[in-house]
Copies of this chain bind each other. A is one copy, B any other.
Amino acid sequence: MGGGPVREDEGTAARILDAAERLVQVRGFNGFSYADIAGELGITKAALHYHFAGKADLGLALIGRYASRFAEALAAIDAAGAGALRPAQRLAEYAALYLGVIQDGRMCLCGMLAAEYPTLPPPMREAVAGFFDENEAWLEKVLAEGRADGSLRFPGTARESARMVIAALEGAMLTARPYSDAERFRAVAASILAGLAPDAAAERSPA
C-alpha cells in the first residue's frame, strides 16, 4: 500500500496522485500547494486543475485510492496461507503494513488528515472516518477470533482493543516523526503486539 511510482507509463492523473500522496503524508494537506506538485512533475498548475478541479477533489481521490489499497492489503492478509494464518500472525502482518508506510518521513495518510480534521472539506472528513471504521472492523474480527481460540488476551471488548491498536500504531507513527527513526516505530509496534499475545514471543516482530 505504500504508494510511490508504480510504472513508467503511468498516466498523469496517477502521477499527480503519487506526488500529492507523498506531500500530504510528509507535510500535511495544509502544508503543500499545487505549485509543489507542478514543480515536481514538470507541468503547470493549470494542468493540475484539468485533472483535479480543486484541492478538495484531489484530496478525496487521494483518500479513496489509499483506502482501496489498504483494503486490498487486509484481504491479502486474510487470504495468506490459504486463510490459515493465526490471529497473532495476522496482527503482526497488520503492523507490518504500517511499517511500510513510514518510509521517507511519511506517516499514515489518514492519520495526518485526522490531525487536520477540523480544517478539511466535509467530503474528505467522511472518507477519513470511513478509513478508520474499516480498519476497526477488520481488527475487531481478528481480535475476537484470537480471544476465542485463546491465542490473544486483552481486557474489555474486541472493539475497544481494536481502537487501542489503531490508536497505538497511529500514535507510534506520529511520535516517531521528531526522531526520523523507523526502528522507534517498530519497537513500539512490537510492544503493543507483545501485550496482546504474551504467550507468542516468536510471533510479535512486525518486520
On whether the beta carbons of B119 and A174 are closer than 8 Å, the reply is no
On whether the beta carbons of B192 and A164 are closer than 8 Å, the reply is yes
Closest to A176 in B: B167
On whether the beta carbons of B30 and A155 are closer than 8 Å, the reply is no
Cβ contacts under 8 Å, A30 to chain B: 28, 30-31
CA distance A166 to B176 in the complex (A): 11
Given contacts A112-B115, A115-B112, A129-B178, contact A167 B188 (CB under 8 A): yes
Residue from B26, B188, B195 in contact with A163 in the complex, judged by beta carbons closer than 8 Å: B188
CA distance A21 to B102 in the complex (A): 28
Main secondary structure of the interface of A (DSSP, over half): helix
24 contacts between A and B (CB under 8 A): A26-B118, A27-B118, A28-B30, A28-B119, A31-B118, A105-B118, A114-B174, A117-B177, A118-B177, A129-B178, A129-B179, A132-B175, A132-B178, A154-B195, A155-B191, A155-B194, A156-B187, A160-B187, A163-B188, A163-B191, A166-B175, A167-B174, A167-B175, A168-B192
A114-B177, A155-B194, A167-B172 given; name 11 further pairs at CB < 8 Å: A28-B30, A111-B115, A111-B174, A115-B116, A118-B177, A132-B175, A155-B195, A156-B190, A156-B191, A167-B188, A168-B168
